[in-house]
Amino acid sequence: MKVLMKGNIALSEAAIQAGCTAFFGYPITPQNEIPEYMSAKMEPAGGVFIQAESEVGAINMVYGAAAAGARTMTTSSSPGMALKQEGISYLCGANLPCVIVNVARCGPGLGGILPGQSDYFQATRGGGNGDYYTPVYAPSTVQECWDLVFHSFDIADKYRTPVMILLDGMLGQMMEPVETKVHPRLNVDKPWATNGNAASRPRNAITSLSLFGEVLEAMNLERFKVYEEIAKKEVMVENTVKDGDTVAIVAYGAPSRIVVNAIDELKEEGINAGLIRPITLWPYPGDIFLNLPSSVNHILVAELSMGQMVEDVRLAVNGKYPVHFYGRTGGVVFEPIEIANKVREILGKPTKEIESKIESKTATQDENLRGGI
Amino acid sequence: MANIVYEKSRGLTDTPFTYCPGCSHGTIHKLIAESLVELDVLDKSIAIAPVGCSVLAYEFFNCDAIQAAHGRAPAVATGIKRVEPDKIVFTYQGDGDLASIGTAEIIHAAHRGENFTVIFVNNGIYGMTGGQMAPTTLINQKTSTSPYGRQESTTGKPLLVSEMMAQIPSATYIERVSVHDIRHITQAKKAIKKAFEYQIANKGFSMVEVIADCPVGWNMTPVDARKTIADAMIPYYPLGVYKDAGGEA
Amino acid sequence: MTSRMIFSGFGGQGVLVLGEIVATIAMNKGKKVTWMPSYGPEMRGGTANCSVIVSDKVIGSPIVQADIDILCAMNGASVDKFLPKVKPGGLVLVNSSIATKKIQRNDVDVVEIDATNIAGKVGSLRVANMVMLAGFLKKTDLFTLDDITDVLKQRFKGARSQDLIPLNIKAIEYGMEE
């Protein structure tokens, strides 16, 4: 049976169904439905809910619960994610599995609560100190929010790594029907857990510290072997580019849905374009750009940012195609016609007039806020 | 057969301590280890090491152990204790860790009444990083970041952590002890053991502040350092029970 | 077939719930649906609105900013804001108890519903949003009164809240009679 639910609620309930027994959060818009939901549902489900003193507190509680072997999660939004970076670096350094959700807003600083995708660098480059990555999943539908939570917990346990789910406030707040299927759980032993069971095994110690260069280097090399394996096996991407398409448009998360509308609009006038939608932002599905149909001669990247993922596309494309960019920031969400116009412009065709927006203020900000190269 | 007159506690590993000669950490480690063994909870204990001189404490306590980010040990302990409520969890933190960068975490762990034990080692200085001023550095005390002596006018008065923590409604047991001589070490042991007994009895948050020395950071001999605890530290940091809402353990 | 709708009104008039009910009915009938609230600062007091899209095919953007098929406006500000964005031939449902200005467009189908007053008559101002559903029943074939009842049964599961169902239905029926 399908249930109409918000992205934030799908993330919450899926986590409980996936066996998350410890949730630590802190209020910040637009993810508040998650800690609210968890505060009501975790205890009855036999789990732990704490509204921490800060995002720093929350991520360190995750560190503790993960170390004790629990499936654990924290959620936040952009400025709160900035505070969590210390903890994420430690989690990676100590090889501890957990799921971290960023229902992103726009920045920098306090920014605004409207949707944004300008945390891409923070998410995919490792926002804390040191050499590390976290797998990053970017759902574009509420159903995908649900499904990717199960997957994320499995990936976290399998590779002993924090996993991030990155979405924007639009997807967190919107409702769609969800098939609330409980996916089978990957059960992974955690013999390393510091859970106070030293009576039945040698004592365990968890740390990210080593004062000896060679030892720490070896730990990092070991971790990067795991990253290599993740990069080899865990890439996820949706690709609708087919023979005859002249433009491949790259977008992720909820904004990719707007690109779908733009592609439909273009089709009506005989312009063929396809969508490449990375579902994993790290590892990045770069290989997809090596095998595009020969009809493609332009790549357009569309983001709710000044241009962040576009750098990964350029790296992947490596000069093979011209890479164009269209972005809006500050919480302004592009409309399909804006993307369609960018494609028309790239192809040297006349653009269509964009009717003034409902919010006239937004329209006057266009020129200042529009990213592009 | 030789008589065994003294034995290293089974609560400690065989890893040699990395502490400086005369440092109090070794003594405090021993008191914790003995308490856990005597209470028969060592095998179900989880230690949380801080950032500071005792960062390697996870190598020394002979139980499960985890190293936390600077100041965050109480949050880490919260995460562990909540998912393993039947286990014995303690943090071991210095004054930079607990009284400076980690004030939010320690206060809110107490505020929630978390049922774990905090051993707070106050030696009035950042030892590991080279002897910088701590919130607990005494007035006029010279450190590498208060080279002319700590001035009240710009850095305030030393923070009285036990007094502060005792004000938190959900804190159960707060005591300040010292380890500068045998009599005080005996009292410190009692306090530490009591804190663990309270945890075992699910009585909530307990913290024992241990006044300690740092001969190297204080730039004096171990003997003088011990004397300085008695002459300078304890007059400002009075020993005693600041809060005991647990009744008899 | 795709219907792009806006539900808009004062915060507290229940427009978000109304949109959710319509989306749920459509979902139950096997349609693809999206519901997207405006979640900016305006949600604290002030105006509230949500976009609902009902379609037979996969829905791209969940945001309805233009090309509105159905506007359900519970106050005057909502009419001012969204009327220009309604497609020619579109449907405009207006809560005429509060939005009293004459609709200044001849190319849309306008249904005035005295929703707030009717809700007062049946005993609770809180069901004014439900009265607006009468406009859907009169002018569209998206759903029937039985479909609404089914969703209300899902929403009001507890024994005490079951009593609210007849009140809601009565409110809609009054709206139909207008």
Residue with tokens 């996820």: A236
Residues 333-362 of A with CB under 8 A from B: none
Is residue B31 within 8 Å of B57, Cβ to Cβ? no
- pLDDT tier at B248, thresholds 50, 70, 90: low
Q: What is the value of ipTM here, to two decimals?
A: 0.94
Q: What is the largest CA-CA distance in chain C?
A: 47
C42 vs A contacts (CB less than 8 Å): none
- Examine the pLDDT at B108 and tell me if it is beyond 70: yes
A50 vs B contacts (CB less than 8 Å): 78, 82, 112
CA distance A205 to B104: 26
Touching check for A202 and chain B: CB below 8 Å? Answer: no
Q: Which of B65, B72, B105 sits opposite A194 (nearest CB)?
A: B65
DSSP secondary structure string, A276-291? EEESEEES--GGGGGS
**Residue range(s) occupied by CATH 3.40.50.970 in chain A:** 2-188+208-233
For position B171, what pLDDT does the model report?
98
Average pLDDT of every residue of chain C: 92
CA distance A319 to A138: 26
Q: Name the amino acid, one letter, at A207.
A: T
Q: Which of C20, C39, C60 sits opposite A169 (nearest CB)?
A: C39
What are the structural domain ranges in chain C? 2-177
Q: Name the amino acid, one letter, at B127.
A: G
In the structure encoding, which two tokens stand for residue B6, read together? 């003294």
Handedness of CA B161, B166, B169, B172 (dihedral sign): positive
Indicate the CATH number of A237-369 among 3.40.50.10490, 3.30.420.40, 3.40.50.2300, 3.40.50.920.
3.40.50.920
CATH (residue range A2-188+208-233): 3.40.50.970
Touching check for A21 and chain B: CB below 8 Å? Answer: yes
Judged by DSSP in three states, A151 sits in: helix
DSSP secondary structure string, chain B? ---------TTB-SSPP-PPTT-THHHHHHHHHHHHHHTT-GGGEEEEE-SSGGGGHHHHBSSEEEE--TT-HHHHHHHHHHHSTTSEEEEEEEHHIIIIITHHHHHHHHHTT-S-EEEEEE-SEETTTTSEE-TTPPTT--BTTBTT---HHHH-SPP-HHHHHHTSTTEEEEEEEE-SSHHHHHHHHHHHHHHHHHHHTT--EEEEEEE---HHHHTS-HHHHHHHIIIIIHHHS--EEEEE-S---
- Residue C54 is inside which H or E element, if any? strand C47-55
Chains that touch C (3 or more CB pairs under 8 A): A
- pLDDT tier at C65, thresholds 50, 70, 90: confident
Question: Digits of tens for pLDDT over chain A (373 positions)?
Answer: 899 999 999 999 999 999 999 999 999 999 999 999 999 999 999 999 999 999 999 999 999 999 999 999 999 999 999 999 999 999 999 999 999 999 999 999 999 999 999 999 999 999 999 999 999 999 999 999 999 999 999 999 999 999 999 999 999 999 999 999 999 999 999 999 999 999 999 999 999 999 999 999 999 999 999 999 999 999 999 999 999 999 999 999 999 999 999 999 999 999 999 999 999 999 999 999 999 999 999 999 999 999 999 999 999 999 999 999 999 999 999 999 999 999 999 999 999 988 744 443 333 333 333 333 3
For position A360, what pLDDT does the model report?
34
- Dihedral (Cα; B89, A188, A57, B198), 10-degree rounding: -20
- Backbone angles phi and psi of A2, in degrees to 5: -95, 145
Contact C23 A175 (CB under 8 A): yes
- Examine the pLDDT at C169 and tell me if it is beyond 70: yes
Handedness of CA A223, A228, A231, A233 (dihedral sign): negative
- pLDDT tier at C45, thresholds 50, 70, 90: low
The percent of residues above 70 in pLDDT, for chain B, comes to: 99
Q: Name the amino acid, one letter, at B165.
A: M
- Closest-CA distance of chain C to residue A175, Å: 5
- Examine the pLDDT at B224 and tell me if it is beyond 70: yes
CB-based touch B/C (3+ pairs, under 8 A): no
Average pLDDT of every residue of chain B: 97
- Tell me A160's DSSP state: T
Judged by DSSP in three states, A338 sits in: helix
B30-72 confidence digits (pLDDT tens):
999 999 999 999 999 999 999 999 999 999 999 999 999 999 9
- Examine the pLDDT at B73 and tell me if it is beyond 50: yes
Q: Which of A54, A62, A87 sits opposite B104 (nearest CB)?
A: A54
- Backbone angles phi and psi of B221, in degrees to 5: -75, 155
Judged by DSSP in three states, A236 sits in: coil
> Between A and C, how many CB-CB pairs are < 8 A?
68
Q: Name the amino acid, one letter, at A116.
A: G
| Other CB atoms within 10 A of residue C66 CB | 18
For position B50, what pLDDT does the model report?
97
Q: Which residues pair with A49 in a beta bridge?
A: A23
- Closest-CA distance of chain B to residue A305, Å: 32
Residue C164: which residues within 8 A CB-CB, separation 6 or more?
C152, C156
Nearest residue of A to residue C80, measured between CA atoms = A358
What are the structural domain ranges in chain B? 25-244
CA distance A70 to B82: 10
Strand boundaries in chain A, DSSP class E: 2-6, 22-25, 48-51, 72-76, 98-104, 136-137, 162-168, 175-179, 205-206, 237-239, 247-250, 273-278, 280-282, 298-303, 323-327
For position C156, what pLDDT does the model report?
85
Touching check for A91 and chain B: CB below 8 Å? Answer: no
CA distance B164 to B179: 21
Residue A132: which residues within 8 A CB-CB, separation 6 or more?
A89, A92, A93, A126, A223
- Dihedral (Cα; B112, B118, B123, B127), 10-degree rounding: -100
For the C2-177 domain, the top CATH level (class) is alpha beta
Q: Name the amino acid, one letter, at B50.
A: P
Judged by DSSP in three states, A203 sits in: coil
Chain C positions touching chain A (beta carbons under 8 Å):
20, 23-24, 27, 32-37, 39-41, 58-63, 65-66, 81-82, 85
- Examine the pLDDT at B1 and tell me if it is beyond 70: no
Q: Which of C27, C37, C85 sits opposite A177 (nearest CB)?
A: C27
B158-171 confidence digits (pLDDT tens):
999 999 999 999 99
Burial class (CB in 10 A: 0-12, 13-18, 19+), A191: exposed
CA distance C131 to C172: 4
Q: Which of A65, A87, A94 sits opposite B82 (nearest CB)?
A: A65
Q: Name the amino acid, one letter, at A14.
A: A
| Other CB atoms within 10 A of residue B235 CB | 9
* CB hemisphere CA count around A253 (13 angstroms): 31
CA distance A190 to A77: 30
Q: Which of C23, C36, C81 sits opposite A173 (nearest CB)?
A: C36
Contact B79 A54 (CB under 8 A): no
Q: Omega before B21 cis (within 30°)?
A: no
Residues 288-327 of A with CB under 8 A from B: none
Residue to mutate among A207, A208, A216, with most B CBs inside 10 A, is A207
Q: Name the amino acid, one letter, at A152.
A: S
- pLDDT tier at B249, thresholds 50, 70, 90: very low
B111-139 confidence digits (pLDDT tens):
999 999 999 999 999 999 999 999 999 99
CATH architecture of B25-244: 3-Layer(aba) Sandwich (3.40)
Contact A4 C60 (CB under 8 A): no
CA distance B232 to B211: 11
- Examine the pLDDT at B77 and tell me if it is beyond 80: yes
C129-144 confidence digits (pLDDT tens):
999 999 999 999 999 9
| Secondary structure (H, E, C), A6-72 | EHHHHHHHHHHHCCCCEEEECCCCCCCHHHHHHHHHCCCCCCEEEECCCHHHHHHHHHHHHHCCCCE
CA distance B192 to B186: 10
Average pLDDT over residues B216-234: 97
- Examine the pLDDT at B213 and tell me if it is beyond 80: yes
Residue B176: which residues within 8 A CB-CB, separation 6 or more?
B162, B208, B209, B210, B211, B237, B238, B239, B240, B242
Query: Would strands B132-133 and B117-122 be described as parallel, antiparallel, or unpaired?
Result: unpaired
CA distance A4 to C21: 10
For position C155, what pLDDT does the model report?
87
pTM above 0.90, yes or no: yes
Q: Which residues pair with A278 in a beta bridge?
A: A237
